[in-house]
Amino acid sequence: MIRPAFAIGLSAAVLVACSSTPSASAPSNPTTTTAGSISTGAAAPTNTLPAVAVGTPLLGPGPVLAVKIDNTSPARPRIGVDAADIVYVEPVEAGLTRLLAIYASTLPPEVGPVRSARESDAVLLGNYGRVAFAFSGASPITTSEIVTGPQVNVSMDSGGAGYRRASDRKAPYNVVGTPAALVARAGGSVPAGDIGFRTGPGAPGGRPATSLATAYPLARVAFTWDATLGRYLVTTDGRPEVTAAGTPVSAASILVQMIRTHPSNNRDVNGSATPVLELLGTGEAKVLRGGAVYDATWERATNASPTRLTGASGAEVTLAAGPLWVLLVPVGQGVTIS
């Protein structure tokens, strides 16, 4: 099990999957991050997560489209990210991150900028089943991983239908996809398999948590609870994440999933190795929803297995209905929750 340290309240302890009750009020003792830890500012709960019924699958019955989207400043404003049911933030080479957006309940008119896939995407999407996967570019190693997986390759490289190059954006940030055309190209795609994430009422015992921040080597992401909206507003690299119309991008839930990585044989033009994300096994996690933080353990046995989130009692930790952002955070990278 991956066990980063948790500094909580006035004492420090290593806690495994201890859960909590929601509250919209901010904690009185905001925290600072220490390297390689998740720091929280609220007092430890006095009760653990009670047994709760299995929740409702986060993704509905609609066909699924997964899209790889650029997460650097030249890609602003990103297109269609606000409509995604799930957004994964993945570490890639050179300390950057990239987004994998999952669409099921709503297909926006366009998405982008669409960028290249990574070999870990095949594992990340392994439990989704035969869903459409849109990307632009992939190394031979990545391509070989994708073609052996269940997902349907609807990349720009494999045909080009469903894509255009936007005249108001510079390459390589100008590839824009049309979700309806991409799903049709996949033969309709299919609903997702059991990915493990479920929605349900917030459990008792939560610690107030109105902000979260973490910094990858060359990318930062942060969230701030908006009690009026009832969601967390997304900030990337110090700037609010907004649509072209200026609408803030928000999340109903945030999952921080601590993972290990190792270097791939894939390298970029500067010789930087792509990190392979170790998404199978078990490790520490945090779930933020409703202005509160819940401790959890994540577990996934095989590529086809769901990712389960459980509390200290072994009961499921559920998510709020609405968009979920999943931060895949390498062990050793600090995360501040306050």
Over residues 140-146, mean pLDDT: 88
256 in Cβ contact with 297 (< 8 Å): no
Is the pLDDT at 31 greater than 70? The verdict is: no
> DSSP readout, 244-298?
TT-PBPEESEEEEEEEEEEEEEEE-TT-PEEEEEE-SEEEEEEEEETTEEEEEEE
58 closest CA partner among 86, 99, 79: 86
Tokens for 37, please give them: 């830890």
pLDDT digits (tens, 9 = 90+) for 168-185: 999 999 999 999 999 999
Query: Is 224's pLDDT higher than 90?
Result: yes
CA 22 to mean position of chain CA atoms: 21
C-alpha count within 13 angstroms, C-beta hemisphere, residue 240: 12
pLDDT tens per residue, range 45-95? 333 333 334 578 999 888 899 999 999 999 999 999 999 999 999 999 999
Compute the radius of gyration of the chain from its Cα atoms: 19
Of 170, 171, 134, nearest to 151 by C-alpha is 134
CATH topology (fold) of 58-185: YerB-like fold (3.50.90)
Contacting residues for 143 by C-beta, under 8 A, at least 6 apart: none
Per-residue tokens: 275: 């990190």
* Average pLDDT value over all residues in the chain: 86
* pLDDT tens digits, one per residue of 232-265: 999 999 999 999 999 999 999 999 999 999 998 8
Q: Is the pLDDT of residue 1 over 90?
A: no
Closest among 43, 30, 36, 52 to 315, alpha carbons compared? 52
Specify the pairing of strand 253-267 against strand 324-330: parallel
DSSP 138-202: --HHHHHHHHTSSSEE--TTTT-TTEEE-TTS-TTS-EEE-HHHHHHHTTT-------S-EE-PP
Domain boundaries along the sequence of the chain: 14-55+196-337, 58-185
What are the backbone angles phi and psi of residue 114, rounded to the nearest 5°? Answer: -80, 130
Question: Which tokens in the block code for residue 270?
Answer: 């500067």
CA distance 297 to 311: 7
